[in-house]
Structure 1
Amino acid sequence: MIESHSFFMRMTLGMNKPLSRKLDLNLLDLFDAIYRTRNLTAAGKALGLSQPAMSHALARLRDMYGDPLFVRLAKGVEPTPFADELVGPVSQALQILAQTLEKGSFVPATARRVFRLAMTDIGEHTFLPRLIRHLQHHAPQLCVETIATSASPEELAQELSKGTIDLALGAINPDIAGVRSRILFSDVYACVARPSTVPRGTLSLAEFKRARHVVPNVAGTNHSILIDRMLVANGMSDRVVARVTHFLAIAELVSDTDVVAIMPRNLALSVARRWGLCHFAPPVQMPGYDVMVYWHKRHDQEPGNTWLRQVIVELFHGGPHPARTKARTRGGSIR
């Protein structure tokens, strides 16, 4: 703590002026070097300054603080009482400024952090098992919290920007300024039904149009939009018997009734295997879609966010199974 009245008076002079006009950081480095070495020649050598440059800078330093700061001795210099009071704050200030130039670090093996990931139940089904296995091995003290994807791209962008969500995963495509995205894999849609509903293992277009359908009504994803467009284009809107808010609820519904459902192929393969259902290609044209990881540009360089993005890309580019193809990036690098 600085107790000297004279120091306080000097530091409060000219408070109405911008700090940059009162203070030269180069001179603080000079002060620190002279105080540590007690020798002008040695301090000049450490700073790469010639003797004339040192003399000129010291004169400016003395003028800045209104104190001699250092007095010459037979060998070297001796700090004045004011310089003794000044050295602590100056050293702390230089250290703080140096720290602002240092980027933070993230050490997975020891980090304690909760990562919040926005995704649907499909995302939880697709991403979490492999991701958690990886984290248990490489980052055992991390926790993943999943959050329902926001209904609107604007809301998602705000949550990513504020950091209330670290990353979002899925077929979302929020074309919002500031949101970065990386394509993990591309997929298509498939139909699922119980074997008694599709005895041949597939349906003709006419049979498909006559069938009763259960469709997703999942917020924060493009799947519902694309499936609804297909139904309207084929005059099938009146064949919908149920709309559900979770894809995984469809599997049990299909296994107990004669309905047909369209869902992402990767999910269709999984639920068909687990529930003993048939899966087949839709007899209508449907576009494919991209599954992506999203983040906000504000967190491009944040070490933890960067690390988790890299992990997700390594685990899932090319598909939810071991990587097969190189991922593409939109709106910025994965760094």
Structure 2
Amino acid sequence: MNNLAGIDLNLLTVLEALLAERHVSRAALRLNRSQPAVSHALARLRLLFDDPLLVRQGGGLGPTARALEIQPHLGEALDRMRHLLAPAGFDPSSERRTFRLAMSDYGAAVLLPKLVPLLRTEAPHSDLLVTQASREAMEAQILDGEIDLALAVFPDLGKQLARSLLFEDRYVCLADAAGQPPSGGLDLAAYLARPHALVALRADVENEIDRALVALGHRRRICLTLPHWGVAPRLISGTNIILTVARGILPPSIEADGLRLFEPPFALPPVPFTQIWHPRRQGDPAHQWLRERIGGFFRAG
């Protein structure tokens, strides 16, 4: 591939989609092409790289070692080309762009009520695609170019990604008000004696609350694990379950619903809500515009 003469560079966008989707039909939908056209392009790519690139694996395609070697360089090269060919600036009032964001429902609750009206007002021709994934999956999606921006709590973020701290929240405990102390909450022994709810996409992923307890030589009993912050408070009503969550996910009137807030009986780190992106997106005018607008929500608040 040393000589670019005679090579259809559009094939590289097909390869990018195939490596992201790992499925011919989904890649075709992503590219707005027919499945036979994408299959034909894959055959040409295999000849071009002298490698199968993607092989049958379960219900989809798995990348070869050569494909995995190519993928990060391919994404970087195509992003550079898009940046080179893009207008010098971004005019949100007239240009069309699809912004691909990933966040938890905590992130959705604090961000989307601000972001969606702004996009409809300032960038009416742009679309917003929001997905949800674990922190680890979001980082991988950023690195692979599948999403533009991820917004969540990333306490152990690697150095290869760019980031911007938007705000810091704090942990609070929530329990049914019946039978609770009128003030002062629970001490550590009483806290540990009760069952707990954990909000996580996967129960086996370490979290800041249990990490802090383990450092003190304690463990709590998790009786309920669920992936959504929003529904969790309703599930503990009328039970003896304790929910330890970021304060920002809870409405100001939460105690009017028969629940009581109290401080955790042990020290917990702050909850840093951060937006992260790939450094190669740093100079993209539309990406810069979006990051700045998102940052402005929380600077103003």
1:111 alignment counterpart: 95
Q: How many residues align?
A: 220
**Secondary structure at 2:133 match in 1:** coil
Q: Structure 1 residues 274, 310: CA separation in 2 closer, same or farther (over 3 Å shift)?
A: farther
The answer as to 2:218 corresponding to 1:245 is no
List per-residue Cα deviations over 1:225-264 (Å, max 9, x = no partner).
Answer: 1112234345653532112122223111112422111001
CA drift at 1:280: 1.5
1:120 alignment counterpart: 104
1:207 alignment counterpart: 190
CA drift at 1:219: 5.2
CA contact (8 A) 2:171 2:247 kept: yes
The answer as to 2:232 corresponding to 1:228 is no
CA contact (8 A) 2:246 2:271 kept: no
CA drift at 1:128: 0.5
Whole-Å separation in 2 of the counterparts to 1:160 and 1:299? 10
CA drift at 1:274: 7.4
The counterpart of 1:277, out of the listed 254, 259, 273, is: 259
What is the root-mean-square deviation of aligned Cα atoms in Å? 3.0
List per-residue Cα deviations over 1:45-86 (Å, max 9, x = no partner).
Answer: xxxxxxxxxxxxxxxxxxxxxxxxxxxxxxxxxxxxxxxxxx
Whole-Å separation in 2 of the counterparts to 1:263 and 1:293? 20
AA at the equivalent of 1:146: V
AA at the equivalent of 2:92: P
What does residue range 1-335 of structure 1 map to in structure 2 within 5 Å?
Answer: 103-152=87-136, 155-173=137-155, 175-201=157-183, 202-218=185-201, 225-233=207-215, 237-270=219-252, 272=254, 275-317=257-299, 322-323=300-301
Whole-Å separation in 1 of the counterparts to 2:155 and 2:192? 29
Whole-Å separation in 1 of the counterparts to 2:173 and 2:158? 32
CA contact (8 A) 1:157 1:296 kept: no
Q: Structure 1 residues 238, 162: CA separation in 2 closer, same or farther (over 3 Å shift)?
A: closer
Whole-Å separation in 2 of the counterparts to 1:124 and 1:206? 34
AA at the equivalent of 2:287: N
AA at the equivalent of 1:123: G
CA contact (8 A) 1:190 1:280 kept: yes
Bigger mean CA offset, 105-114 vs 305-314: 105-114
**Secondary structure at 2:91 match in 1:** coil
Q: Structure 1 residues 197, 128: CA separation in 2 closer, same or farther (over 3 Å shift)?
A: farther
CA contact (8 A) 2:255 2:261 kept: no
CA contact (8 A) 2:133 2:201 kept: no
CA contact (8 A) 1:192 1:268 kept: no
CA drift at 1:167: 0.4
Whole-Å separation in 2 of the counterparts to 1:100 and 1:117? 23
AA at the equivalent of 1:126: V
Whole-Å separation in 2 of the counterparts to 1:265 and 1:282? 12
Whole-Å separation in 1 of the counterparts to 2:157 and 2:132? 19
AA at the equivalent of 2:153: A
Q: Normalising by structure 2, what TM-score?
A: 0.64
**Secondary structure at 2:294 match in 1:** helix
Structure 1 unaligned residues grouped into runs of 5+:
1-16, 20-98, 324-335
Whole-Å separation in 1 of the counterparts to 2:97 and 2:107? 21
Q: Normalising by structure 1, what TM-score?
A: 0.58
Structure with more contact order per residue of length (Cα contacts < 8 Å, sep ≥ 6): 2
Structure 2 unaligned residues grouped into runs of 5+:
6-82
AA at the equivalent of 1:243: T
Whole-Å separation in 2 of the counterparts to 1:237 and 1:162? 36
List per-residue Cα deviations over 1:130-182 (Å, max 9, x = no partner).
Answer: 11122222122222221123452xx5444224432010111124533431001
Q: Structure 1 residues 158, 215: CA separation in 2 closer, same or farther (over 3 Å shift)?
A: closer
Whole-Å separation in 2 of the counterparts to 1:240 and 1:270? 26
Structure showing greater Rg: 1
